[in-house]
Copies of this chain bind each other. A is one copy, B any other.
């Protein structure tokens, strides 16, 4: 085992890159003094920032590249034309074993495509998934898939459960995370065939998790489980619906505090408590989505993350690398009571259907 972890940073990804990336790394260095960094990006943009942060520079290496993935680039274009981009080189450094994990705040679609192409899927995994942390009343939970797969079968949902639980063990520090399958009711008979079959497999498997069966959308915020598993379509819509509701209420609370002079004064008095609330819900404190199921670790930071948010994403990356998440996932999948031979034709048929549909 290596003495210290090395983090690859796509210095050019994100709305405020490269400043937020360098300053975020600087903040992370204070929290994790043993960690080293490799920055990938344009020399003219990044070097002056590193020069201004000598303590960070001492634990960092810099790799120049002119090529940058743009926010509006389609995944296909990134795969064809951006193989020398700061994003691709950061991922390549993980593949080569030079770095333990890569972090990028760039274009999500391009990052997922490049990561999948360069690192490849783990042999035991059918489909990688995008996972992230969400605030709940009790703290935080892991939710996946958040959009990597629009259609999922039962074995995909089982894999997501195993990967999500391993992620919760490394990042939330839980021994036996409580795992729930998102459904339209908690009764066994509810939902589509995929969730029912996945629940049956999870109930009979021997895994380092507490499988809680089905949960409904309102149980996410209440913190009823540590891991929330669903397909990428539902997960993406639900995550954004949650974010949209938080924004809606934030705007309404702001309007309410501005509605009169009494209310303005009330805000001044309640400000400290309100700031605590805002901090708990602030996406920057739960930053760091992860592409699970690949032969290497990649973390996606929000594009608009603050310095604090970027440092949080680096923290997630460090936790995963430190606890060797990939090893955990591979080991845990051995405990799944799933006949993989049997599930294969189903997957093939689904692919065929998709082909004939799109033809």
Residues of A bordering B, CB below 8 Å: 135-137, 147, 150-151, 182-184, 191-193, 216-222, 230, 232-234, 236-249, 251-253, 255-260, 262-263, 265-274, 276-277, 280-281, 354, 357-358
CA–CA, A269 and B267, complex, Å: 8
The answer on a CB contact under 8 Å between A263 and B269 is yes
B245 touches A242 (CB 8 A): yes
**Are B150 and A192 in contact, CB atoms less than 8 angstroms apart?**
yes
The 5 closest A-B pairs by CB, nearest first: A217-B240, A266-B270, A266-B269, A218-B244, A256-B273
A98 to B: closest C-beta gap in Å = 33
A242 touches B242 (CB 8 A): yes
* Residues from chain B with Cβ under 8 Å of A182 in the complex: 237
State the Cβ distance, A259 to closest chain B Cβ, in Å: 4
Contact B252–A272 (Cβ < 8 Å): no
Q: Are B249's CB and A249's CB within 8 A?
A: yes
- Give Cα A238–Cα B182 distance, bound, in whole angstroms: 11
Question: Which among B239, B266, B272 is the interface contact of A267 at CB below 8 angstroms?
Answer: B266
Which residue on B lies nearest to A143, using beta carbons? Answer: B241
CA of A237 to CA of B182 in the docked complex: distance in angstroms? 7
Residues of B within 8 A of A147 (CB): 184
Which residues of chain B are within 8 angstroms of A249 by Cβ–Cβ distance? 245-246, 249, 277, 281
Residues A233 and B273 in contact in the complex (CB < 8 Å), given A245-B245, A246-B249: no
- Cα–Cα, bound, A249→B220 (Å): 12
Within the assembled complex, what's the spacing in Å between the Cα atoms of A245 and B150? Answer: 24
Kindly list chain B residues whose C-beta atoms are within 8 Å of the C-beta of A192: 150-151, 233
Given contacts A230-B237, A240-B216, A251-B137, contact A245 B270 (CB under 8 A): no
Shortest Cβ gap from A38 to chain B (Å): 31
B267 touches A233 (CB 8 A): no
Residues of B within 8 A of A258 (CB): 273
With A244-B220, A248-B222 as contacts: A262 and B269 at CB distance below 8 Å: yes
Known: A217-B237, A258-B273. 15 other contacts (CB 8 A): A150-B184, A150-B191, A184-B237, A216-B240, A217-B244, A218-B243, A219-B244, A221-B245, A237-B237, A252-B281, A253-B253, A256-B274, A256-B276, A265-B266, A269-B269
Give chain B residues whose Cβ lies under 8 Å from the Cβ of A221. 241, 244-245, 247-248
CB distance from A119 to the nearest CB of B (A): 23
Chain B's closest residue to A241 (CB) is: B217
User: Whole-angstrom distance from the CB of A153 to the nearest CB of chain B?
Assistant: 11
Task: Give every chain B residue within 8 A of A257 (Cβ-Cβ).
Answer: 270, 273
Which of these, B183, B247, B253, contacts A277 with CB under 8 Å?
B253
Return chain B residues, CB-CB under 8 Å to A246: 245, 249
Please name all residues of chain B whose beta carbon is closer than 8 Å to the beta carbon of A266 when the two chains form the complex.
265-271, 273
Tell me whether A237 and B238 are in contact (CB under 8 A).
yes
Q: How far is the CA of A274 from the CA of B276 in the complex (A)?
A: 18
Which residues of chain B are within 8 angstroms of A243 by Cβ–Cβ distance?
Answer: 217-218
